[in-house]
């Protein structure tokens, strides 16, 4: 649903009035902007819902039949097959399942040429798509062919416009959500598209093959550090974190601290692991014992994981590892103890007025977001009870603003696309560094379901 907030802030695509557009016949934005502008004025909300159904179902049906679909001046949705493994948990055992699935995938394509036609045999072009959609929506509306053609092209032009200006579009919500991360600025919509990473997030898939690899006994962990010791070896450091001191440093008032902390509050115990690859060194911080809080109150607890590629990892003996993670752990701890359910605060976050990485040249990372820890997604067993690992992700203030305005799902999609939902990078810039500031849209668009 639209709430009128833009992820893009691309003023140049919003500013010109219709009269100016009509007078600039050579303007590269003229035709697409006229298409979506006239379409949004002419069509009703109910008609746009019908088109959502017609176009989404036509794309889905074609893709699952093995045919790619061209979306005019935007790109190609095509079938992608992949193998995966997943587990189903029982009380003390789990089944490991191997599957082959096919799902819609998207790639940019501004013009359908022979290369794409050779690559995607039998691709559904615009003419074919209009014909298929016509059959899908015939039960709901009795439109003439020219109107169907104009409406479908206008609908796709509107989707394209929204992806450029807002950073996402839910016009084809029955298929999925289109997103854009802009890598450079442009003077017109074509240049913005050329400089954007555009992708589709969808839950649609078909399982082609599925089989059980085996049934295994679930391990009972003595500590939350065990899987990481198996993966990375012995910790390179241990941290005993005084939560009260860190909250004070973050500027939390004493009366607020006293509401959530007791005088007998135990330090937060954290192990630090090092993962070295050809490209960089990663530090992995993991708590142990925090799970008891959730197990006692809700029957399932949480352990926190913080991963970061630092900018200054040279001599390990000269580094105070607390500087990288202490403030983030303090904020995450606040989320766990102040929420209604300390076992499942996924998608929630907190912001600070200061950088969460101490003594860092990057002072912009001031917020955290709790996300799924993808290396170990399933719940784990200990003698005290069950728990989940949760990952802590650092955000800039403009990224955190998206959560406030639109919820966490959209920012998580962009972070995942950039590989930043799991591993923090001290030197990274904001996702919106090439897009301008976030601001409310001056254009009123009808809601879509």
Q: Is the pLDDT of residue 29 over 70?
A: no
Asked if 147 and 286 sit in the same domain, the reply is no
Average pLDDT over residues 393-420: 92
246 and 170, same domain (yes or no):
no
- Cβ proximity of 105 and 200 under 8 Å: yes
- Asked whether residue 277 is domain-assigned, the answer is yes
SS3 337: helix
Residue 369 lies in a domain: yes
Share of the chain above pLDDT 90, in %: 68
Show Cβ contacts of residue 132 under 8 Å, excluding neighbours closer than 6 positions. Answer: 58, 61, 62, 124
What's the distance, CA 3 to chain centroid? 18
The pLDDT assigned to 432 comes to 87
Residue 227: the pLDDT is 98
Range with lowest mean pLDDT among 48-57, 329-338, 351-360, 433-442: 433-442
Domain assignment present for residue 436? The answer is no
Same domain assignment for residues 419 and 270: yes
Q: Is residue 96 part of a domain?
A: no
CA distance 85 to 212: 10
d(CA 160, CA 436): 19
Residues 47, 115, single domain; the answer is yes
* Domains: count for the chain: 2
**pLDDT for the residue 128:** 98
- Comparing 7-21, 107-121, 288-302, which segment has the lowest mean pLDDT? 7-21
Indicate whether 248 and 381 sit together in one domain: yes
Domain assignment of residue 434, yes or no: no
pLDDT digits (tens, 9 = 90+) for 127-176: 999 999 999 999 999 999 999 999 999 999 999 988 888 888 999 999 99
Mean pLDDT of 103-109: 97
- The span from the CA of 161 to the CA of 180, in Å, is 11
> How, if at all, do strands 281-287 and 439-440 pair?
unpaired
**pLDDT of 18:** 39
Q: What is the pLDDT of residue 228?
A: 98
Angle at 428 between CA 424 and CA 429, to 5 degrees: 130
| Domain-located, residue 264 | yes
pLDDT value of position 32: 54
pLDDT at residue number 444: 39
What tens digit of pLDDT does each residue of 297-345 get? 889 999 999 999 998 655 555 578 999 999 999 999 998 887 666 566 7
- Tell me, yes or no, whether 126 and 257 share the same domain: no
Q: Which one of 139, 174, 192 terminates a domain?
A: 192
For residues 280 and 143, membership in a common domain is answered with no
pLDDT at 20 > cutoff 60:
no
More confident residue, 25 or 286: 286
Could you tell me which of 382, 384, 241 has the C-alpha nearest to residue 324? Answer: 241
pLDDT at residue 9 is higher than 50: no
Q: What is the mean pLDDT of the chain?
A: 86
Average pLDDT of the segment spanning 48-74: 97
Q: What percent of the chain has pLDDT over 70?
A: 85
Q: Does residue 283 belong to any structural domain of this protein? A: yes
Q: Are residues 227 and 184 in the same domain?
A: no
Which is more confident, 277 or 344? 277
- Whether residues 182 and 237 share a domain: the answer is no
Three-class secondary structure of residue 408 per DSSP: helix
- As given in the structure block, the two tokens for residue 11 are 């003023």
Is pLDDT above 90 for 97? yes
Same domain, 239 and 155: no
pLDDT given for residue 369 in this prediction: 97
DSSP H or E stretch at residue 211:
strand 206-217
- When pLDDT is averaged across residues 98-126 and rounded to a whole number, the result is 97
Instruction: Report pLDDT for 190.
Output: 82
Residue 63, in any domain of the structure: yes
Range of the structural domain that residue 61 is part of: 5-77+108-192
The per-residue pLDDT for 316 is 55
Q: Which range has the worst mean pLDDT, 232-241, 416-425, 427-436?
A: 427-436
Tokens of 77: 């949705």
User: pLDDT tens digits, residue range 347-357?
Assistant: 999 999 999 99
Is 0.85 surpassed by the pTM of this model? Answer: yes
CB atoms under 10 Å from CB of 432, counted, come to 21
Pairing label, strands 386-396, 365-372: antiparallel
Q: What is the pLDDT at residue 435?
A: 58
Q: Does 242 lie in the same domain as 119?
A: no
Note whether 180 and 249 are same-domain residues. Answer: no
């Amino acid at each position: 649903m639209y709430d009128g907030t833009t992820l893009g802030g691309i003023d140049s695509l919003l500013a010109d009035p219709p009269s100016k557009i009509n007078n600039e016949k050579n303007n590269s934005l003229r035709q697409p902007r006229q298409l979506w502008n006239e379409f949004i004025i002419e069509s009703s909300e109910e008609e746009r819902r019908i088109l959502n159904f017609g176009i989404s179902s036509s794309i889905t049906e074609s893709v699952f039949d093995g045919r790619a679909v061209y979306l005019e001046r935007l790109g190609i949705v095509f079938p992608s097959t992949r193998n995966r493994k997943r587990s189903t948990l029982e009380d003390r055992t789990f089944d490991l399942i191997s599957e082959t699935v096919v799902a819609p995938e998207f790639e940019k394509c501004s013009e359908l040429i022979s290369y794409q036609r050779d690559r995607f045999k039998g691709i559904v072009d615009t003419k074919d798509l209009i014909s298929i959609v016509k059959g899908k929506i015939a039960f709901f509306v009795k439109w003439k062919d020219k109107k169907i053609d104009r409406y479908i092209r206008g609908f796709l032009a509107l989707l394209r416009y929204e992806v450029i200006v807002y950073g996402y579009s839910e016009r084809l919500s029955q298929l999925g959500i289109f997103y854009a991360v802009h890598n450079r600025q442009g003077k017109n919509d074509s240049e913005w598209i050329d400089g954007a990473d555009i992708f589709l997030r969808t839950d649609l898939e078909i399982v082609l093959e599925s089989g059980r690899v085996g049934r295994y006994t679930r391990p009972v962990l003595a500590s939350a550090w065990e899987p990481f010791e198996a993966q990375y070896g012995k910790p390179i450091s241990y941290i005993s974190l005084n939560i009260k001191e860190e909250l004070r440093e973050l500027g939390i008032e004493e009366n607020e601290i006293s509401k959530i902390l007791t005088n007998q509050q135990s330090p937060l115990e954290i192990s630090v692991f090092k993962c070295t690859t050809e490209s960089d060194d990663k530090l992995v911080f993991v708590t142990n014992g925090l799970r008891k809080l959730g197990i006692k109150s809700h029957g399932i607890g949480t352990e926190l994981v913080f991963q970061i590629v630092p900018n200054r990892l040279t001599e390990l003996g000269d580094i105070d590892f607390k500087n990288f993670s202490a403030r983030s752990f303090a904020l995450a701890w606040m989320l766990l103890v102040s929420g209604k359910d300390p076992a499942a605060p996924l998608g929630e976050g907190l912001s600070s007025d200061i950088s969460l990485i101490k003594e860092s040249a990057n002072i912009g990372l001031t917020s955290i977001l709790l996300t799924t820890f993808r290396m170990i997604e399933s719940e784990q067993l200990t003698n005290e009870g069950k728990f989940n690992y949760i990952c802590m992700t650092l955000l800039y203030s403009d990224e955190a603003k998206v959560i406030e305005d639109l919820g966490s799902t959209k920012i998580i999609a962009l972070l995942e696309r950039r590989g930043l939902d799991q591993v923090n990078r001290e030197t990274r810039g904001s996702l919106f560094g090439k897009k301008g500031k976030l601001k409310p849209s001056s254009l009123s668009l009808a809601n879509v379901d």
